[in-house]
Amino acid sequence: MSVIRKFQVTFDCAQPERVARFWCEVLGYVAPPPPKGFDTWDAYNLSLPSEERDAWFACSDPSGVGSRLFFQRVPEGKAAKNRVHLDVRVGTGLVGEERLAVLEAECARLIALGAVRVRLLVADEDNESCLVMQDVEGNEFCLD
């Protein structure tokens, strides 16, 4: 019998908290409370040695159903296309112009948060339309 395991998705990035807070807005996720003994994340970060400050951040689905997202600071910048990306399912079950309208509305909302529109992939015989975008650090994702 198979065991179903929970998993987290980890992002390498330059500014973990900035990227995490962007994804909180995209997905309706929430940031965790600061570690025990600290009133704020800023207070926690100030307690660390300078090289460890702002090294990571996380966010999670407040309902507990979706996977946790973890963001870790890495020294190198993004150099190529993602090998894995998230599909944000905003148009599930919709087709044609109705689907495009929902994708475009969500695209506009995310652009206001700092996302970048890359291109529209129009529907064909096998797939419905989707929008390729980038988050605040250039990581690709799709509005699907």
Q: For 47-65, what is each residue's pLDDT tens digit? A: 999 989 999 999 999 999 9
Torsion sign, CA atoms 9, 92, 24, 26: positive
Nearest residue to 143 via CA among 108, 112, 97: 108
Going by pLDDT thresholds of 50, 70 and 90, the confidence category of residue 106 is very high
Q: Which domains occur in the chain, in start order?
A: 8-73 (3.30.720), 86-143 (no CATH)
Question: How far apart (Å, rounded) are the C-alpha atoms in residues 21 and 115?
Answer: 12
Residue 57, token pair as written in the block = 């951040």
